[in-house]
């Protein structure tokens, strides 16, 4: 089992028709999109979303994504995507779990890693900006 984070967010997604391929399963690339929806919900919960990151002067590019497919999602299936905050002081690491909303069956798991980049200088930071760390600490309190 993957590590549970200190903060979590869950979103429910009804798989749309345009996300499935000719085999009637969600095309593999769309799972990254589902991760992103959950990641945005987690950042909202932290109180420091992408707009606030940019306003603070930082971009957070994804530098690594890992996925493990166990069972493909299908058209009109309700899925739950959970995002768990794992690391935030030096980089942003989030674990994900996609499961069937009705049965709870695990379908896909993964993780993403992002690093802070100062927009003005385009320099990658070796530690997360104080403004982000403080937002996480406030959300944890």
Q: Does the domain at residues 7-140 carry the CATH identifier 3.30.390.50? A: no
Query: How high is the pLDDT of residue 91?
Result: 96
Gap between the Cα atoms of 36 and 112, Å rounded? 10
Query: How high is the pLDDT of residue 4?
Result: 84
Gap between the Cα atoms of 36 and 31, Å rounded? 9
Pairing of strands 62-69, 123-124: unpaired
Banded model confidence at residue 30, pLDDT cuts 50, 70, 90: very high
Query: How high is the pLDDT of residue 84?
Result: 97
Query: How high is the pLDDT of residue 123?
Result: 97
Query: How high is the pLDDT of residue 71?
Result: 95
Gap between the Cα atoms of 5 and 20, Å rounded? 30
Q: Where are the domains of the chain?
A: 7-140
Question: Which residues 6+ apart lie within 8 Å of 116 measured at CB?
Answer: 58, 59, 60, 91, 92, 124, 125, 128, 129, 132
pLDDT score of 1 more than 70: no
Question: Which residues 6+ apart lie within 8 Å of 113 measured at CB?
Answer: 62, 63, 64, 65, 91, 92, 93
- Is-above-0.85 flag for pTM? yes
Banded model confidence at residue 15, pLDDT cuts 50, 70, 90: very high
Banded model confidence at residue 3, pLDDT cuts 50, 70, 90: confident
């Amino acid at each position: 089992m993957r590590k549970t984070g200190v903060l979590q967010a869950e979103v429910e997604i009804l798989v749309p028709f345009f996300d499935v391929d000719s085999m009637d399963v969600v095309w593999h690339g769309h799972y990254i999109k589902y991760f992103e929806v959950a990641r945005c919900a987690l950042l909202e919960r932290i109180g420091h979303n992408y707009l606030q990151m940019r306003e603070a002067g930082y971009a957070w590019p994804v530098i690594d994504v890992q996925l493990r497919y166990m069972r493909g999602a299908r058209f009109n299936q309700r899925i739950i995507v959970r995002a768990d905050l794992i690391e935030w002081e030096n980089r942003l690491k989030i674990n994900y779990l996609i499961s069937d909303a009705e049965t709870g069956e695990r379908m896909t798991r993964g993780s993403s890693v992002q690093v802070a980049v100062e927009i003005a200088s385009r320099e990658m930071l070796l530690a997360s900006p104080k403004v982000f760390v403080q937002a996480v600490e406030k959300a944890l309190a």
